[in-house]
Amino acid sequence: MMLRQLSLKYNIFTSIALTKSESNSVGTLANTSYALKDNIVTRDAPTTCSSRILTNYVSPFESTVSRLLAEEGSHLVGKTNMDEFGMGNSCLNSHFGPTLNPLYEQKSDIVDLKEKEFWTRGEKITEDLTFENPHTDTYLHRNYLVSELKSDYKVDPEMRIVGGSSGGSAAAVAADLVDYAVGTDTGGSVRLPSCYTSIFGFKPSYGRISRWGLIPYAQSLDTIGIMSKDIKLVRRVFGVLDKYDSSDPTSVSQENRIYDDNLNSKIKIGIPAEMSLGNLEDDVKEKWRKMLKQLQKSPKFELFLISLPSLSKSLPAYYTLVTSEASSNLARYDGIRYGYRTGEYTSVEPEFAKTRSEGFGVEVKRRIILGSYSLSSYGYKSHFMNATNVRSKLIQEFNRVFKEPHMLNKNHNPDGIDFILCPTATSLPPLVSQYQKVTPVESYMNDILTVPFSLAGLPAINIPLGRSVGFQVAGQLGHDYKVLKFAQMID
């Protein structure tokens, strides 16, 4: 099937380049093609974050990642759909309609998206359904065909979700439309959709890949990651993007970057007791057990059960911190400087309030409210400060188990483990119809195995293990090349 047909079938791209970039025959990534998540800016195509509030927004500057990839000869095929502003783990929270999982064929009757009130997961919030979709047709922007939710877009509720928020990027790779994709991972958004689509998804250490040009969700956690079916290509792309960038104030300085990828002859692997078998769905449990048995048999590996007591508190801590940062970040969308602006307003409902209530989706609004509470004088101590303390404790606990020194504070345990291993998701990707029924808090539970590494900024990769099952390898902060080498070794 053609790129555009597949893209439409699964709703993968928000815009597609019509011509090939000129420089694709030179450079270390010559003749490779890639997809870029639509929260990373490029000068030639719109960058929407899959939000109504940024429809038609075109950045006046180029992101560092897209610049570096172009310089090395990689061809940008298009920008990919996502959960609005990166908020979600399903790719159903997009203004442009959901991206679906290309590993599953559509089979049952197709139903109309609007009839099912897809956006609201069963909650009747009609304001999001009544507005006219501004994109009723594809249009051309420079050499990009910008696609949008067609009014007759159909969703099969028996399809499985692709995972999010980098769902479009994962789908583009899984459907073989590109060699690799660039996504972003704040709490699991590269690893979870990679797991659900059976591809590699690497989230580097915090600060390792420049975020210049990434529209922020929560800056203390945001990272840019790489997804591909080919682990060697992930490593090559990381080699290109792994550069200090003075435009990003959180970019790791050159002297702190670690390139060593030597692995010990006997590799110590830690299995966190808190991420144990209890909560895993049968299919995942069986594959996970099988893999542990295989590793146990090999003379190259030694397995240890480790304890990280703060893991159990990481999900609420993550959601407190991430919503706080998001609520502050999203204040910039006032409809005055750029992006969508409401047509009519009264003095009772000021222009910026109406712009936001029309421009943001339900999940984004929910997070603004949650975050504003955590930062208020009522919630600051009990919520925000508590979450910050959990995060600090968790980092200390990681430092106590890892053998390699932490990139910045150099803390470590000389007798510790080399890597942590755990599943990426507790279950197979749910059906769209199942996911629509869960409450927001229940849906947040899908992030339980990915957020701890994000809170500590650790490098972590999803390794596929059969259809829609994957496991994560995480290493100490800064030891990205070791994580990649180990992933290659056990693949």
Known catalytic residues are 37, 165, 189
CA angle 347-349-351, nearest 5°? 80
Give 292's strand partners.
none
459 binds ligand GLN (CB under 6 A): no
CB under 6 A: which stretch of 179-187, 249-257, 309-317, 407-415 binds ligand GLN? Answer: 179-187
3-state DSSP assignment of residue 470: strand
Nearest to ligand GLN of 189, 251 (CB atom): 189
CB under 6 A: which stretch of 81-89, 125-133, 278-286, 331-339 binds ligand GLN? Answer: 81-89
> How far apart, in Å, do the first and last CA atoms of the chain sit?
29
- For residue 13, give the amino acid letter: F
* Min CB(322)–ligand GLN separation in Å: 5
Written as six digits, the tokens of 133 are: 């979709």
3-state DSSP assignment of residue 146: strand
- Of 50, 189, 310, 468, which one interacts with ligand GLN (CB under 6 A)? 189
Nearest to ligand GLN of 81, 165 (CB atom): 165
Binding residues for ligand GLN, rule CB under 6 A, total 14
Distance CA(186)–CA(203), nearest Å, equals 9
Distance CA(178)–CA(151), nearest Å, equals 27
Distance CA(324)–CA(367), nearest Å, equals 8
Nearest to ligand GLN of 188, 457 (CB atom): 188
Here's the x/- map for ligand GLN, 247-276, by CB under 6 A: it reads as ------------------------------
Nearest to ligand GLN of 74, 323 (CB atom): 323
* Min CB(268)–ligand GLN separation in Å: 28
Written as six digits, the tokens of 153 are: 């877009």
Nearest to ligand GLN of 24, 194 (CB atom): 194
**How far is C-alpha 86 from the geometric centre of its chain's CA atoms?**
7
| Residue sitting closest to ligand GLN (CB) | 189
187 binds ligand GLN (CB under 6 A): yes
Distance CA(463)–CA(199), nearest Å, equals 7
99 binds ligand GLN (CB under 6 A): no
CB under 6 A: which stretch of 148-156, 170-178, 186-194, 414-422 binds ligand GLN? Answer: 186-194
Here's the x/- map for ligand GLN, 289-328, by CB under 6 A: it reads as ---------------------------------x------
- Of 334, 358, 447, 480, which one interacts with ligand GLN (CB under 6 A)? 447
- Of 73, 86, 201, 272, which one interacts with ligand GLN (CB under 6 A)? 86
* Min CB(201)–ligand GLN separation in Å: 11
* Min CB(363)–ligand GLN separation in Å: 8
3-state DSSP assignment of residue 18: coil
Here's the x/- map for ligand GLN, 321-360, by CB under 6 A: it reads as -x--------------------------------------
64 binds ligand GLN (CB under 6 A): no
Written as six digits, the tokens of 151 are: 């009014």
* Min CB(185)–ligand GLN separation in Å: 5
Distance CA(225)–CA(113), nearest Å, equals 31
Using the CB atoms, write b or e for 117-131: b if 16+ within 10 Å.
Answer: bbbbbeeeeeebeee
Distance CA(179)–CA(190), nearest Å, equals 16
- Of 72, 148, 156, 185, which one interacts with ligand GLN (CB under 6 A)? 185
Here's the x/- map for ligand GLN, 191-210, by CB under 6 A: it reads as --------------------
87 binds ligand GLN (CB under 6 A): yes
Query: Would you report the helix, strand and coil content of the chain in percent, each value rounded to 5?
Result: 35, 15, 50
Give the contacts of 204 (CB within 8 A, at least 6 positions apart).
223, 224, 225, 226, 238, 242, 459, 480
217 binds ligand GLN (CB under 6 A): yes
- For residue 226, give the amino acid letter: I
118 binds ligand GLN (CB under 6 A): no
474 binds ligand GLN (CB under 6 A): no
Preceding peptide of 392 cis, ω within 30°: no
Distance CA(303)–CA(411), nearest Å, equals 22
Nearest to ligand GLN of 405, 459 (CB atom): 459
Distance CA(160)–CA(297), nearest Å, equals 35
* Min CB(91)–ligand GLN separation in Å: 10
- Of 33, 48, 64, 89, which one interacts with ligand GLN (CB under 6 A)? 89
Q: Where are the alpha helices (DSSP H) in 225-361?
A: 231-241, 282-297, 311-329, 351-359
- For residue 467, give the amino acid letter: R
Write out the E strands in 277-435.
Answer: 301-306, 419-423
The helix (run of H) or strand (run of E) holding residue 201 is strand 200-203
Nearest to ligand GLN of 355, 468 (CB atom): 468
In the range 148-177, which residues lie near ligand GLN by CB under 6 A? 165
50 binds ligand GLN (CB under 6 A): no
Binding site for ligand GLN (CB under 6 A): 86-89, 165, 184-189, 217, 322, 447
